[in-house]
Amino acid sequence: MSEETVRETTEPRELDVANVRAVRVGHGANCSSVGSVIDTLFLGAVVGGALLAAVCAAMKVEPVTVVGQTRDAEDAPHDGGDP
Amino acid sequence: MIVRYEPWGAWVKTETIPALVALDRDGVRALGLDGGRAWRAGADATPSPPIEVHLAVTSRCAAGCEGCYLDARPDGVEPPADEIERAFDALAKAGVFTVAFGGGEPTLRDDLGDLARAARARGLSPVVTTSGLGLGARKLEQLKSFAQVNVSYDGASEAYESVRGFDGAAAAESAIAKLSGTGVVVGVNVVLTRDTFERTKETIRRAASLGATEVQLLRYKPQGRARALDYLAKRLSPEQARGVGPLLRELAAEHEGRVRIRIDCALVPFLSADADLASRPEELARWGVLGCEAGDLLGATRVDGRVAPCSFTAPTELRVEDLAKGWADEAGFAPYRAYSAAPAEPCASCTLRKVCKGGCKVVSEYANGTIGPDPECPRVREHAAGAGEGRPSGA
């Protein structure tokens, strides 16, 4: 993809499920309207927790590609804090 | 994984587990990343590019479905491959994650597999919807290049015919089985109408038995050939609309995650009739349930390259090649974004407001000639009837 940066992750990352604001599971493949998985809401906390944990585990180890508005390498440190 | 910075953190698309995650700033920092400019620019007021774009790769289709939202025809237009690849370039530049091939019937293109691979080469996840009609070995091979394939399947013969005007159920069922048999991740799109609604459980059982691992339930919408008087007879009855929440609960209990159940954006307002779901907006948001995202997280591109807020809405002046620089300021998106941000009552006081975003604007425009409360939403119906006075929000 254009404007991308790619780097391999070599250090373990600390990431908590509390940092996940939202997760959309799966690809979906409808071409006319946006679809959202709904059954997760009915499957109970154990299933949901396991899914969140698995997604967080994936984020800790997968190589990173940044797309869209990429960070300028010369940018000053961020100002911190959630919006 | 693919990361796109946002003012609030970042969208993260994971590959080992297909998922799109909205991660807060602390979470992004925990990954050793920094949003930089995106976190400093006061960009909250600037609409971010879509996460998903529906791309019409042809307007050709010989199926002749009565309710086709694009009025696709056998003599439709098929844009050249290089034009579509330039669209992929533009989507990639904007940071779009998923491109959903539609039409028309995408499998009528001889180069469909090449296009899917071209999308993947740019970091996009290509998915596609097909009728499954005429799915031979060559088309099957092409579809292997997609991350997921959904087959339009509204149920067994009568149900299918009631939606599309012909019985293509056997072909759709054959396609589901063939795709599943070759290892393609296959789902089905089920249009909920007055006729199909009562058979939904049976339809999903049948699709699952053929190998479908995901079901997307779709609301019937008044656009294209469906924008006709019989829309009123085909749409869900008020009682059925109120029954969507209980139906979803039953489906989840029956399939226990073996078949993933999705709803489309236009069904979200119907959840307002379900007291349990209406009381859990934070959970809906946490699990990424999206209501109307037209011109926001969702965009659609027509065969002529013009971009629309969604597949059912009229295209704007924005062309797909200008998506990255033009998305935020395109005037044609403004009415959709404005209503989603500040809907009128009874949407304004609904607990599901931030998820639902005012219901399907295509339906409200069809019914009232303007964007407003979705007239088929149970809560809106109650409000209109005067029964909504004093009721708890979302109930």
With cut-offs at 50, 70 and 90, classify the pLDDT of residue A71.
Answer: very low
For residue B387, the model assigns a pLDDT of 56
Indicate whether B20 and B154 sit together in one domain: no
pLDDT single digits (tens) B323-354: 999 999 999 999 999 999 999 999 999 999 99
With cut-offs at 50, 70 and 90, classify the pLDDT of residue A79.
Answer: very low
For residue A69, the model assigns a pLDDT of 62
B225 domain-assigned: yes
Indicate whether B98 and B18 sit together in one domain: no
Contact at CB, A33 and B266, closer than 8 angstroms: yes
For residue A68, the model assigns a pLDDT of 86
Residue A75 has pLDDT above 80, yes or no: no
CA nearest neighbour of B354 among B272, B273, B242: B272
Give the range of the structural domain holding residue A45, as residue numbers without chain letter.
5-66
For residue B70, the model assigns a pLDDT of 80
Residue B51's identity, in one-letter code, is: I
Contacts of A35 in chain B (CB under 8 A): 216, 262-265
Neighbour-count burial for B271-306, b at 16+ CB within 10 Å, e otherwise = bbbbeebbebbeebbbbbbbbbbbbbbbbbbbbebb
Indicate whether B304 and B243 sit together in one domain: yes
Indicate whether B21 and B138 sit together in one domain: no
B165 domain-assigned: yes
For residue B224, the model assigns a pLDDT of 87
Residue B245 has pLDDT above 80, yes or no: yes
**Tokens at residue B337, please?**
């974004």
Interface list for B 9-68 with A (CB within 8 A): 9, 12, 14-27, 30-40, 44, 49, 52, 54-56
Q: Phi and psi for B219 in degrees, rounded to 5?
A: -80, 140
SS3 assignment, position B303: coil
Residue A2 has pLDDT above 70, yes or no: no
A49 domain-assigned: yes
Give the range of the structural domain holding residue B128, as residue numbers without chain letter.
52-334
**Tokens at residue B305, please?**
């390259």
A78 domain-assigned: no
Indicate whether B118 and B225 sit together in one domain: yes
Indicate whether B72 and B172 sit together in one domain: yes
A83 domain-assigned: no
Q: What is the CATH number of the domain that holds B158?
A: 3.20.20.70
Indicate whether B168 and B28 sit together in one domain: no
A33 domain-assigned: yes
How many independent structural domains does chain A possess?
A: 1
Indicate whether B25 and B86 sit together in one domain: no
- ipTM score of the complex? 0.91
B390 domain-assigned: no
Last residue of some domain: B312, B334, B356?
B334
**Distance (Å, whole) CA B305 – CA B327:** 14
DSSP for B207-264, please give it.
HHHTT--EEEEEE----GGGSSTTHHHHSPPHHHHHTHHHHHHHHHHHHTTSSEEEEE
Contacts of A23 in chain B (CB under 8 A): 19-22, 286-288
Last residue of some domain: B319, B334, B349?
B334
A80 domain-assigned: no
Indicate whether B184 and B57 sit together in one domain: yes
How many independent structural domains does chain B possess?
A: 2
**Tokens at residue B5, please?**
């910075």
Residue B392 has pLDDT above 80, yes or no: no
Contacts of B92 in chain A (CB under 8 A): 1-2, 67
pLDDT single digits (tens) B106-162: 999 999 999 999 999 999 999 999 999 999 999 999 999 999 999 999 999 899 999
B349 domain-assigned: no
For residue A12, the model assigns a pLDDT of 53
The average pLDDT across B6-34 equals 95
Indicate whether B219 and B318 sit together in one domain: yes
A28 domain-assigned: yes
A81 domain-assigned: no
Q: Which one of A9, A24, A79 would you mutate to disrupt binding with B, by most B Cβ within 10 Å of its Cβ?
A: A24
Indicate whether B74 and B179 sit together in one domain: yes
SS3 assignment, position B35: coil
With cut-offs at 50, 70 and 90, classify the pLDDT of residue B281.
Answer: very high
pLDDT single digits (tens) B172-217: 999 999 999 999 999 999 999 999 999 999 999 999 999 999 999 9
pLDDT single digits (tens) B153-175: 999 989 999 989 999 999 999 99
Indicate whether B131 and B205 sit together in one domain: yes
Residue A8 has pLDDT above 50, yes or no: no
B91 domain-assigned: yes
pTM: 0.92
